[in-house]
Structure 1
Amino acid sequence: MSEPRPTSAFHAANADPAVTDRLVTALDAQAVYDGVRRLRAWAHARLGVRPGERALDIGSGTGSETQVLAAAVGPDGVALGLEPHPGLRALAERRAADVDSPARFVDGDALALPLADASVDVVRCERVLQHLADPARAVAEIARVLRPGGRVALLDSDWATFILHPAAPEIRAGLASVTRAAAATPEAGRHLAGWLAEAGLIVDDLGSDVLLHDPRTVTWPLVRGLGAAALQRGLITEEQRDRLYADLTAAAERSAFHLSVTMFAVIAHRPG
């Protein structure tokens, strides 16, 4: 995922091992959420990757979904994970080697894919476009490398759908500002179909699911991160932060805590 916000932990320059460890922990935790698992499975099923095909996974992260593509294309195909973050790429390579997966991982730029025109059968890109200042350009690159008849799955969040409950309206507004500021294109999810159409691709199917957290347990790493950022930016006061934490703790004790964001997916193909 090329040229994300410099403050993003996913930025290739942010290679501090401690940052990488936090990224891996977050990505692994998100991967087990039912909403993520369902939407990923839906996208893989709609892509229908076949043996012998050439597949590209843009922003491959820990490499788990590149491994799924590798299993689908088989020994006669190619599954390539594009990941600019060196720490994540190294981890993906180790994890693939540990399970004898033929998935391969390379450095690269989503805005200038290191592949020839019409050279790929399948492209998958999950939660990458929200980090790009020019996501439409990245989608145009996807269209360029797809062969005629090639398929693409875009999956991304829309941070305008972020919900944290219970939170007083004034606190909720401050936290919403933080979540939206964390992404270069926070409403990426709603634009996926439009970007694909603008790139000359044919939209075939639409899907969505919710990354929904356990109502019995406050997701403290995320909540405290949001609270600290909102406080630092003067969007909430210390009193409001403490009130938020107390309200969330009490809600979790009665299984009423709610934290969610909606993810969207679009399947499309290159005509011809």
Structure 2
Amino acid sequence: MTSPRPTSAFHTPNADPAITDRLIAALDVQAANPGVRRLREWAHARLAARPGERALDVGAGTGSETRVLAAAVGPEGTATGLEPHAGLRAVAEQRAAEADSSACFVDGSALALPLPDGGVDVVWCERVLQHLDDPAGAVAEMTRVLRPGGRVALIDTDWATFVLHPAAPEVRPALASVAQATAATPDAGRRLAGWLAEAGLTVDHVGADVLLHDTGNVTWPIVRGLATAALGRGLITERQRDGLYDDLAEAAERGAFHLSVTVFAAVAHRPG
């Protein structure tokens, strides 16, 4: 749930295999989260990619949703995943080959899609806009490549909804500040419908789900990442950090640990 803030597009390119492995592991964990699975199913049902259509997945990551689109459009259609991170793109290609999927993957930026005007029937973009300094520009690019009548599904996080419990009252603001600093546009989730409307699209559906973590186990990589960042920025003391760890561990023993964030989705179409 936490990641370094990208400097340009999404998924900061990095040649370090260890960093790439951690990113892949994080994406796989998130993909297994029930909240993510429910919201993806909800959005795919309303996007309704059909046989023979041309589908685009902006920020494909490991390619899971590109493969879903490929299965929906069938052999008569195409499903292309745009992913600028070479390591993720390689994994997406490998997993597509292992699944005997027709999904293909290309390099590129969400702010300059390497596609002609009006050449795409459906666009999927999940948890990418939060990492962009110009998310509205990316939505405008998706609109440009979308044919009249084409559909787009956006899914993104709203980091202002991040909750970690139990945490001392004086520690909560620090954790909230660090959580929101993980993204260039931390309130992307609540702004999806607005960006679509500004781009000239008609919003048909808006939904949301909550990414809840296991109440009996502390999600230590996320917790330690947040606490370390808060300590490094001088927002909490070592004593407060250690107290947070103790409180969370004790709560997990009682099945009372809580870590969550709300993710929103919006599905729209291009009039015409």
**Aligned match of 1:137:** 137
Residues 10 and 131 of structure 2 are in contact (CA less than 8 Å); yes or no, is this contact kept in structure 1? no
Cα distance in 2, alignment partners of residues 112 and 238 from structure 1 = 44
Residues 8 and 133 of structure 2 are in contact (CA less than 8 Å); yes or no, is this contact kept in structure 1? no
Residues 5 and 133 of structure 1 are in contact (CA less than 8 Å); yes or no, is this contact kept in structure 2? no
Change (3 A) 1:243 1:7: farther
Per-residue deviation, 1:157: 0.2
Per-residue deviation, 1:5: 2.5
**Aligned match of 1:162:** 162
**Aligned match of 1:58:** 58
Per-residue deviation, 1:16: 1.2
**Aligned match of 1:69:** 69
Cα distance in 2, alignment partners of residues 254 and 98 from structure 1 = 41
**Aligned match of 1:261:** 261
RMSD over aligned CA atoms reads 1.2
Change (3 A) 1:37 1:249: same
TM-score with structure 1 setting the length: 0.97
| Residue 78 (structure 2) pairs with residue 78 (structure 1) | yes
Cα distance in 2, alignment partners of residues 22 and 5 from structure 1 = 15
TM-score with structure 2 setting the length: 0.97
**Aligned match of 1:221:** 221
Which string of whole-angstrom CA distances, capped at 9 and with x for unpartnered residues, describes residues 50-101 of structure 1?
A: 0000000000000011000000000010000000000000000001001111
**Aligned match of 1:211:** 211
Cα distance in 2, alignment partners of residues 193 and 109 from structure 1 = 22
The number of equivalent residue pairs is 268
Quick one: which amino acid aligns to residue 189 of structure 1? G
Cα distance in 1, alignment partners of residues 221 and 66 from structure 2 = 27
Unaligned ranges ≥5, structure 1: none
Cα distance in 2, alignment partners of residues 6 and 40 from structure 1 = 27
**Aligned match of 2:6:** 5
Residues 205 and 266 of structure 2 are in contact (CA less than 8 Å); yes or no, is this contact kept in structure 1? yes
Cα distance in 2, alignment partners of residues 31 and 142 from structure 1 = 23
Partner SS for 1:167: coil
Percent of matched pairs sharing the same residue = 73
Partner SS for 1:170: coil
Partner SS for 2:248: helix
Cα distance in 2, alignment partners of residues 249 and 67 from structure 1 = 38
Cα distance in 1, alignment partners of residues 166 and 231 from structure 2 = 18
Unaligned ranges ≥5, structure 2: none
Cα distance in 1, alignment partners of residues 190 and 267 from structure 2 = 14
Per-residue deviation, 1:7: 9.6
Per-residue deviation, 1:172: 0.9
Partner SS for 2:57: strand
Partner SS for 1:169: coil
